[in-house]
A = this chain, B = another copy of it.
């Protein structure tokens, strides 16, 4: 993966609002219009590349999970794996920065040192994800695992709503319609004979699912806000600080949840080749998510991961002999129309 530096004009630490305002002044959609300049083309290309990377990585992530489940149980501790993912992301960010420092020298935008003002918001997404992951243990008292997969699609709606409220970016009427369709389409594609059980979810289960969707949506939107606060700031520096806090929070999770197991059986107990692949994939996916936040937005991220879900199912047909259901075809159709409407809605804005 290649990391490039964005040549941004604004070198000052502006307020979040102003900065997002200025970003909105140069909508990415112009890149697709006729007579777009080379800068717009480069931006559009970069946006497409990171989106494609995220889609492929997310899809292969799901395939690795299916593969590992088929190979046997999870023998390793998930918390150590998560910690390693964050560490690896930190290492990748530092390596990319080293290359940049070599070629461009250390500047205001790519130096690692930071101010308290800049760094103080960075732990927030990691903290939100931690709370969400803790809630995840409790929601299974009310919903089974397939039901949880279905309820997770509420993330799509919560991300859209929080994107509108927090980042103050507008979606057109058609784009809102497209977003509702994306949620309905993804859920439809995942339907199976047991899906109706989710309708029996008790009130507490629904509440927790909604809170988790809001936490996850808020974490995503907040990460975008942090990363876009200083558009000229090098993404690898921003990633480095995000991931450092990710490491800290996951270290806490190891101590709280798996201290005994790690002490008795060792940090790497139960690791296999596929575990290493999954950690590597998660790390790259995480970096791709940051890139999409920087060069595109949460809406693109949601579409990208939704397409990845469909892609996974299609690839699984060839790899594992899975069968595609009628619901999958219908859901995919709705998702495809949603993507089309989203792009149409942008042009008509």
User: Does chain B have a CB within 8 A of A208?
Assistant: no
Q: Are A191 and B344 within 8 A (Cβ)?
A: no
The answer for the CA separation of A341 and B348 in the assembled complex, in Å, is: 14
User: Does chain B have a CB within 8 A of A244?
Assistant: no
Smallest CB–CB gap between A186 and chain B, Å?
10
Instruction: Decide: A330 near B184, CB < 8 A? Known: A174-B344, A341-B341, A344-B173.
Output: yes
- Pick from B323, B331, B337, B348: contact of A180, CB under 8 Å: B337
Smallest CB–CB gap between A271 and chain B, Å?
38
* Chain A stretch 196-218: residues in CB contact (< 8 A) with chain B: 196, 198-199
User: Does chain B have a CB within 8 A of A20?
Assistant: no
User: Does chain B have a CB within 8 A of A334?
Assistant: yes
Task: Closest B residue to A348 by CB, please name it.
Answer: B348
User: Does chain B have a CB within 8 A of A326?
Assistant: yes
Residues from chain B with Cβ under 8 Å of A326 in the complex: 150, 187, 191, 195-196, 198-199
Task: Closest B residue to A197 by CB, please name it.
Answer: B326
Interface secondary structure of A, over-half rule = helix
Residues from chain B with Cβ under 8 Å of A174 in the complex: 174, 341, 344
Residues from chain B with Cβ under 8 Å of A193 in the complex: 193
User: Does chain B have a CB within 8 A of A333?
Assistant: yes
Smallest CB–CB gap between A150 and chain B, Å?
7
- Pick from B150, B181, B191, B198: contact of A334, CB under 8 Å: B181
- Having A188-B327, A199-B326, one finds 12 other A-B pairs with CB under 8 Å, namely A177-B337, A177-B340, A177-B341, A181-B337, A184-B334, A184-B337, A191-B191, A191-B326, A191-B327, A191-B330, A196-B326, A334-B334
Residues of A within 8 A of B (CB): 150, 173-174, 177, 180-181, 184-185, 187-188, 191, 193, 195-196, 198-199, 323-327, 330-331, 333-334, 337, 340-341, 344, 348
